Amino acid sequence: MPCRLLPGAETPGLVLRYGVSDFSFTQLTWAAYLLAGWWGGPAAPGPQEVDAAAVVRLLRRNSVPLLTLAGDPRPDAAALLATPAFAAALDEDRRDLACQEVAFGEIVARWQAAGIPALFVKALGPQPTFAYTSSNLDVLVPQAQQDAARKIVRDLGYVELRHIEEPNKFLFRRFHLGESAFDIHVHGRLEWTVSFLDEAEVWQHSRLAPDTALAAVPAAGDAVLITLAHAIYENKSLKLSELAKVLYAASRLEVDWERAIAMARRKGWADGLWFGLVLCDRFEETLYGVRTLPAALLEHAWRELPPRLRAYVEASSGDLRATPLRISFVESKRLFYAKMLADTTLLLRGRLRDTVFHTLAGTRLRLRLRSQRPMLIALDGLDGCGKSLQTQLLDRALTGAAVRHRIVWSRGGSSDALQPFLRLGKRVLSRSRRDLRGALTSEEPAEGASGAPREAGRAVLFSHPLVQRLWPWLIALELGVRYLGGIRWPLLRGEVVVADRYLLSALAELGARLGRPNVARSAAGRWLRFLAPTPRHSFWLDVPVAVAAARGGGEESAAHLARQAELLPALAAELGASRIDGTLPPDVISACLVTGVLREYLDAHRTLLNAFFWTNPRPLTVDWQTALGDSEKPCSAEDATRRPES
């Protein structure tokens, strides 16, 4: 009987909750049916109605690479894969895979030239071998060459997210317009806080990938160990994709179970291996009503399984229809500590060291402790130079990198607290000077009209001697208060602050408005500079006045912008701001800023709290100015990170 594919209807049944999404048992059955094509599962699904889009979402939640399902000859599977929802999802996966292969191919070419081999850590299942659905591509390199491999990746424009990585595991990200374009996790060892496999043995038994020359793949038994160790000890859940990997290896590949069990015993986690195999068997029996794993292996696993874990499996059998299958935090930690203390490849002091380290790292993670150093980044320039856009892109990158930060915008004369003083001053001046009355009472020009009348009025107003004396002090007071609460206080709390308009813009605008090029050296200017925290990085985007005026939408007159533009170079040199060519494409400028700032910041992120709760490898020496340029050398397209294109 052919299946009926409903575009949006739901078949009543058990509802499985995963985060904010609900999945019915019907959808789970269809997802399991599609995955069974990996190893020749049932010929037809149980239910005959399904919401194809919901099945796509469920498979994505379980990190299933949809391209491994394409070409399934079973009639019901082919019909489901031909639906618009699956067709669109498969096209998206093809684009993702192509883009990631290009990005990783660029890295591998450099590694191969340096004699550094690579191995896909999570490669298990039908083609494609490339694990493109993972949050980041996990690749193993020889531990002796891990520093050389890291340097090559950094030289290609990647940022190393050192504050959220572990020793011997290095997370790199390439940014494009503030978003992650490609993430890669470079492993020197196969470990999750502590080592789970013998890397030398894994390399010895590795083989060439069947469909790509980019990297090798682990032997089937090693791939099963990696899959179960990551699921039970790291993620504390068993996904459909991980179940499918184990069943695929058991039915389609030659697994050296004896060698795999011996390695798990030496590394101290044989109990975890038995536990994972029994869970996979129960999961498969619940979903498919069959058992793929060797019967002798399962009997041995059940005999070896400690009574506590047997009871846990029996108690959780009623939850096996929910996916991913959750493993309790307490049970996972019991397994983790038992593994660390039973690792026969380490001396007693090494096992105790791993136990203490894991406890401190886990405590830090559970308490959500993430210490970080403060940093102030200032972006200045004319109105319309693009600094607000670059601030937004830097904000996006900092958010994606899990860095605590805030964005601060400031402009002299814009605060509500200053408005009563401005109104009072206008009334006093209009009564004392007849020639100021028109300038002080004229209305703003209508939309689309010229700003000349308003600019002329401002010129008359700011030429008044009293305004010349008092206005700089009002601006210094206003901005000083803003800098104290909005910048200095967050810096004291260890936050990163990105200032959209800061001291350079304030002084340039003040000098242009008052006609005083040396305003930065005046008493009010020196006081404002004293109150303003010194930026770690200060940039100004240099654009022609005509470009800024066109982008700014007429907020400021071209004449006023021209006066500011005359002051900016000298003020920037005095304040130590680096010039960036603002006419470059936004993605080029963003790549320069994000790569340079994040590299410099994350290489020095460690604090006293980090020293107690985490240890990162020593930073590699990188001169980030080669990516940014200095005040004499504008950032160019050649300095920027290139985004891989599919």
Encode pLDDT of 272-287 as tens digits: 999 999 999 998 888 8
Inform me whether the pLDDT recorded for 219 exceeds 70. Answer: yes
User: What's the confidence (pLDDT) of residue 281?
Assistant: 93
| Exposure on the CB side of residue 537, measured as CA atoms within 13 A | 27
User: What's the confidence (pLDDT) of residue 364?
Assistant: 73
Higher-pLDDT residue of 361 and 59 is: 59
User: What's the confidence (pLDDT) of residue 466?
Assistant: 75
Q: State yes or no: cis peptide before 128, omega within 30 of 0.
A: yes
In the chain, where are the structural domains located? 117-127+134-367, 375-429+453-627
Encode pLDDT of 479-490 as tens digits: 999 999 999 999
Higher-pLDDT residue of 449 and 613 is: 613
Higher-pLDDT residue of 7 and 425 is: 425
Inform me whether the pLDDT recorded for 177 exceeds 60. Answer: yes
Report pTM: 0.82
Encode pLDDT of 235-263 as tens digits: 889 999 999 999 999 999 999 999 999 99
User: What's the confidence (pLDDT) of residue 227?
Assistant: 97
| CB atoms near residue 238 (< 10 Å) | 24
User: What's the confidence (pLDDT) of residue 632?
Assistant: 37
Assign 373 a pLDDT band (cuts: 50, 70, 90): confident
Burial class (CB in 10 A: 0-12, 13-18, 19+), 426: middle
CATH topology assigned to domain 375-429+453-627: Rossmann fold (3.40.50)
Map residue 237 onto helix, strand or coil. Answer: strand
Distance of CA 495 to the CA centre of its chain: 18
User: What's the confidence (pLDDT) of residue 107?
Assistant: 97
According to DSSP, the β-strands at 216-217 and 207-208 are antiparallel
Residues contacting residue 529 through CB under 8 Å, at least 6 positions apart: 503, 520, 575
Cβ-contact 216, 208 below 8 angstroms:
yes
Structure tokens at 514: 């008052």
What is the rounded average pLDDT of the residues 2-22?
A: 36
Higher-pLDDT residue of 610 and 620 is: 610
Assign 553 a pLDDT band (cuts: 50, 70, 90): low
> 435: closest CA among 462, 460, 402?
460
Query: How much of the chain, in percent, has pLDDT values that exceed 90?
Result: 55
> 63: closest CA among 13, 137, 168?
137
User: What's the confidence (pLDDT) of residue 569?
Assistant: 94
Q: What is the DSSP string of 536-594?
A: SEEEEEE--HHHHHHHHTTSS-HHHHHHHHHHHHHHHHHHTPEEEETTS-HHHHHHHHH
Encode pLDDT of 374-387 as tens digits: 999 999 999 999 99
What is the rounded average pLDDT of the residues 8-24?
A: 41
